[in-house]
Structure 1
Amino acid sequence: MYKLVVFDIDGTLAVRWNEIPETTLETIRRLKERGIHCLMATGRGSVAVEEMVRLTGIEDYVALNGQYIFYGGRVTYKYVYPKEVTKRIAEICREVGCYYGFINERGYYIPDLDELRGKHGSPILTSVKTIDDLGEDEEVNQIVVFCEKEKYSYFDELKKDYIMTSWHTGGFDMHINTRSKAEGVREIAEDLGIGRDEILCFGDGENDIELLEYAGMGVAMGSAGEKVKKAADLVTEAAEENGIYNICRKLGMI
């Protein structure tokens, strides 16, 4: 029996922004009733996870691809970007015509916000602030870049220390190469005394691959790309087709 179940959010728990199938919510309730620990692992920032905590009742989460961990009622880890890195990202984006955003515990901060909203329809952009709202001394815990894939190479100078992970056809998350969803989940599992063979994970994006490979059982959603599906032990239906419920029932967990 698996003792820890880990869910990616977008495309896995949620069909659309914070829209969760009733069968998924029922699955979570039944897992928790059986004493199985549930955890969310996402590329979202903490401010964008709060509503999912309320909807699902899952209080522990790994956010920002492992760069931020909320566990046991408190923040147990967060990575802070050096000022020279955030400055360099802004410079590159201005030079090559890309957009960027900085994320911390207070929210998302993006320059040229109105223009970006017209080009990218991400739900994230409905609740962000302009870069002018970010104080000079405030921390940055995540960087997101909005641009075409042909422009990704302009950021190669940062690849020595950072990983660029696509989350959308028009952009990528940048995170320190020592952190990942899998690393965050591993730290929580160790504290709970749970081995990797007792972990079941669900995901659909490239930032879930390491997590699917790490878990005792990695399950790719039906909407996932082939690269993600190849990394998984099982492939289930898409989120809107009751994929999470179907697998948990098949495994005898609910």
Structure 2
Amino acid sequence: MEKKLFVFDLDGTLLTSNNQILPSTIVALDYLKRDHTIMLATGRSRFLIQDYLDQLSIKDYIVCNGSAAFLNDQQVYKNTLDKDKLASLLEYFHDQKIDIALTGLDNFCRISSFRVEKMEQAMRSIGGLIPEYQPQFYQENDIYQGLAFYDATNDQLFEKEYPEFRFVRWHQLFVDIVPNQGSKAVTLHEVAAELGISKKNIIAFGDENNDIEMLQEAGIGIAMGNANNSVKAVADFITRTNDDDGIVYAMEKLNLLQQKN
């Protein structure tokens, strides 16, 4: 059996609705690590996934929706937001009273406080806390990603005005802001080339819009049962939900839990 690259989104995929990893999933990943590479690919930044990396003993990961990648805990890819263009976007959001937080690799600060309770609600839903208020954060740090707190009624209002960025929704309460040419899929392609693994040997799992291109880039793209319809439409296989052993179910049905001869 050829070496494969298994790539897992985190929220809604590897994690249950309670932000836990099922014991059966942990066993399956430990089994696969004997012969294959296991990688996380998430919209979260590194510091927001460190506990899960430690729990799974994983050292390969893509964070910030593809803006950074690490192999054996060493950064191999970087794609940060342009600060001049970001400054213009931040001014626009301020005028619209839209809250935004900005992400470095290991820090995360908000630069506004229009609707603190909504930011708190959004962060609690992914097991996090509202970030510290630091309005000059973007001027002093490399920014890998923005996090804008608005619901789907405002989707697609900013793309024409700010074509330098992509506004990627994976949560009902906020969107991620990444470079226009950035995505999990772009970074996955770079990482797979670095590892010498061909597209046919990439197996990717996801559930939200920021996973669509990643599933298309994979040899086998697997949508969780709880995935939205856009993700299911591009998947090669639709498994059970993240709360119902969806990862292990897909691996068993696709005969992916096999060792090399």
Specify the alignment match of 1:172 in structure 2.
Answer: 175
Specify the alignment match of 2:90 in structure 1.
Answer: 90
Of 125, 134, 137, 1:122 maps to: 125
Specify the alignment match of 1:65 in structure 2.
Answer: 65
| Aligned pairs (5 A) from 1:32-181 | 32-33=33-34, 35-110=35-110, 111-112=112-113, 114-120=116-122, 121-123=124-126, 125-126=128-129, 128-132=131-135, 134=137, 136-181=139-184
> Per the alignment, do residues 127 and 52 of structure 1 end up closer, same or farther by CA in structure 2, a change over 3 Å counting?
farther
1:9 maps to 2:10:
yes
* SS of residue paired to 1:88: helix
Specify the alignment match of 2:23 in structure 1.
Answer: 22
Range moving further from structure 2, 64-73 or 79-88: 79-88
Specify the alignment match of 1:247 in structure 2.
Answer: 250
TM-score, normalised relative to structure 1: 0.92
Range moving further from structure 2, 185-194 or 132-141: 132-141
Letter in 2 for 1:101: A
* Alignment coverage as a number of residue pairs: 253
| CA distance in structure 1 between the partners assigned to 2:150 and 2:131 by the alignment | 18
Q: CA deviation at 1:132?
A: 4.5
Is the CA contact (8 Å cut-off) linking 1:92 and 1:155 kept in structure 2?
Answer: no
Is the CA contact (8 Å cut-off) linking 1:18 and 1:52 kept in structure 2?
Answer: no
Is the CA contact (8 Å cut-off) linking 2:102 and 2:138 kept in structure 1?
Answer: no
Specify the alignment match of 2:199 in structure 1.
Answer: 196
Is the CA contact (8 Å cut-off) linking 1:43 and 1:64 kept in structure 2?
Answer: yes
> Per the alignment, do residues 157 and 125 of structure 1 end up closer, same or farther by CA in structure 2, a change over 3 Å counting?
farther
> Per the alignment, do residues 3 and 119 of structure 1 end up closer, same or farther by CA in structure 2, a change over 3 Å counting?
closer
Structure 1 spans left out of the alignment, 5+ residues: none
| CA distance in structure 1 between the partners assigned to 2:210 and 2:126 by the alignment | 19
Deviations 1:187-228 (A, max 9, x none): 111122111011111000100000111111100000001110
Letter in 2 for 1:169: Q
CA RMSD, 1 decimal: 2.0
Query: How much identity, in percent, do the aligned residues show?
Result: 28
TM-score, normalised relative to structure 2: 0.89
Q: Runs of 4+ in structure 1 displaced over 3 angstroms? A: 113-125
* SS of residue paired to 2:89: helix
Letter in 2 for 1:235: I
* SS of residue paired to 1:93: helix
Range moving further from structure 2, 6-15 or 131-140: 131-140
Q: CA deviation at 1:114?
A: 3.8
Is the CA contact (8 Å cut-off) linking 1:99 and 1:116 kept in structure 2?
Answer: no
| CA distance in structure 2 between the partners assigned to 1:115 and 1:90 by the alignment | 20
